[in-house]
Amino acid sequence: MIYKLLNSIDQARPFERLSAHCDIPCGIYDPIIAQIAALTVVRMIDLMTDLDNKGGEKNKDYINSMSRYVTIKEEHAEKAKAEIRVIWGDFLKAQHLEKYPNTHALVHQIMQLGSKARQTTDREAALQLVEAINQFAEIFWGAKNIPTKRAIAPYAPNLELVYPVL
């Protein structure tokens, strides 16, 4: 019964009409903000590992640095998720989802990877977050018919990011 009601809403009108009005809110979407945020997550994990490797005392200086890294990692993982969610919800319309049918699953994966990046210090998961957002960036620029390239970001951790060719 749940699905029937929804399906009726779903099939009959909303998506089409919503798409029709997409010009009004059309903000300035750019996945680079999420990409930079994801890079920052990796960077924080690297700084956390470095600090542990130094092997100093676990005193106020250790907590000061470590808990600041955690907070910054937290904020940027959250920012990455929020930015992707906005582009997904506000910019991508029925025609794009048809062209890129894996988008919903990719966005769900980004949410999960973003959460994992917050909950752990797993560098591998953070790299997967960067890459998943890169793939989302390729969908986004593809939806705007703008070609992309991959280049090394000009700051540590110097990972490959997807950029539009301007």
Does 75 interact with a copy of itself (rule: CB under 8 A)?
no
Does 5 interact with a copy of itself (rule: CB under 8 A)?
yes
For residue 77, the cross-strand partners are: none
Helix, strand, coil % in the chain, rounded to nearest 5: 70, 5, 25
Site for a copy of itself in 92-151 (CB under 8 A): 97, 102, 104-106, 108-109, 111-116, 118-121, 125, 127-128, 130-132, 134-135, 138-139, 144, 146, 151
114 Cβ neighbours under 8 A, 6+ residues apart = 77, 78, 80, 81, 129
Site for a copy of itself in 6-65 (CB under 8 A): 6-7, 9-10, 14-15, 18, 21, 24-30, 32-33, 36, 39-40, 43, 48-49, 51-52, 58-61, 63-65
CA 138 to chain centre: 12
Residue 95 beta carbon to a copy of itself: minimum distance, rounded to whole angstroms: 14
Residue 67 beta carbon to a copy of itself: minimum distance, rounded to whole angstroms: 4
Question: Residue 165, SS3?
Answer: coil
Question: Residue 135, SS3?
Answer: helix
* Count, residues near a copy of itself per rule CB under 8 A: 89
